[in-house]
Amino acid sequence: MTAPSPADTRRVAVIGGGQNCEHDVSLASATAVAAALEQVGHDTVRLTIDPGGVWHDARQHPIGLAIAIEVLRTCDVVFPVLHGPRGEDGTIAALCELTGIPYVGSGVRAGALAMDKWATKLVAGAMNIATAPATLLTATTAPSYAFSHPVVVKPAAAGSSHGVTLVGTAPELEAALTGAFALGDHVLVEDVVVGREIDLAVLGRPDGSHVVAPALEINVEGLFSLADKYDGSADFRVPAELAETDRTALEDAAVVMYDALGCRGLARVDFFLTAEGPVLNEVNTMPGFTEQSQAPKMFAAAGMSYPELVDLLVRDAVGVHG
């Protein structure tokens, strides 16, 4: 690939870590993103947020938020490679907005809506996109929930399958709810959806157009669990073998959700493909971002290398905010 010209190179702050259960995944993503940006000639400033919320510089010295903001202001653009609450949920986007710094990825509204799986369902319903029937539980309402059939229990705002449990019998419900509530104060109890797991990666460009990469199918027995995602056992098939009608339906639904939520940059939109058509699972506004993660694999199948992808995201962010 061709490296950007000196006029196109940028000083990019890459932020990883975060105060949530996806801290370690974010560190891996941020390390990969920074290395790829450096490979194509950008100057990166690596910052980390530790599990306690303290910001650190590239040497892992604690610097605190005030100094971190001053460091961010020396950069042309911020690439927040943060997954989950207090990062992907719009909080870092809000920080960048308040400080007037261009940034890669979705803004405050899209991050907050997509992180909340119940809110995502409400948006999907308004756009006539199917989702799994579900009940929203809080600590107050959970004791009155009556188990009647197999369900999936999950935190309303977490990622990487943390706290997600397939519950087949009533005695399993209490432990599943306890695990989910440990990660948030709202929990979803969803009907089990039978279908193929298909992911779409949507890239919104500054001119309002969309690029949808070839779909990826996750081939795994049962739930796509936390272990499956990171132990190398997951079987990703890209491009997924799809009938043209199914491919079109999935791509159209992915773009509709991307726009309805107000996403920007790259988002991964996950579906179950059932006999009745696509059923939305969730939307990730900052999905896993190592070279072996789903979204980069999808764009690689379209002929765009990992360094090219992260470089494009940086250049588009400057174009949108510049």
The residues assigned a catalytic role are 22, 160, 230, 268, 270, 282, 284, 288
Distance (Å, rounded) from C-alpha 127 to C-alpha 131? 11
Cα angle 203, 127, 132 (rounded to 5 degrees) comes to 95
Q: What are phi and psi of 118, to 5 degrees?
A: -70, -45
Burial of 248 (0-12, 13-18, 19+ CB in 10 A): exposed
Distance (Å, rounded) from C-alpha 137 to C-alpha 145? 8
- Is residue 208 within 8 A of residue 139, CB to CB? The reply is no
Q: Is 92 helix (H, G, I), strand (E, B) or coil?
A: helix
Assign 3-state DSSP to the chain and report helix, strand, coil percentages, each to 5.
35, 25, 40
- Is residue 117 within 8 A of residue 85, CB to CB? The reply is no
Q: Between the CA atoms of 26, 11, 208 and 305, what dihedral angle is there, to the nearest 10 degrees?
A: -60
Residue (of 315, 287, 279, 306) closest to 106 by Cα position: 287
Residue (of 306, 263, 270) closest to 285 by Cα position: 263
Residue (of 239, 218, 309) closest to 33 by Cα position: 309
- Is residue 78 within 8 A of residue 15, CB to CB? The reply is yes
DSSP result, 124-181: HHHTT--B--EEEE-TTTGGG----S-EEEEESS--TTTT-EEE-SGGGHHHHHHHHH
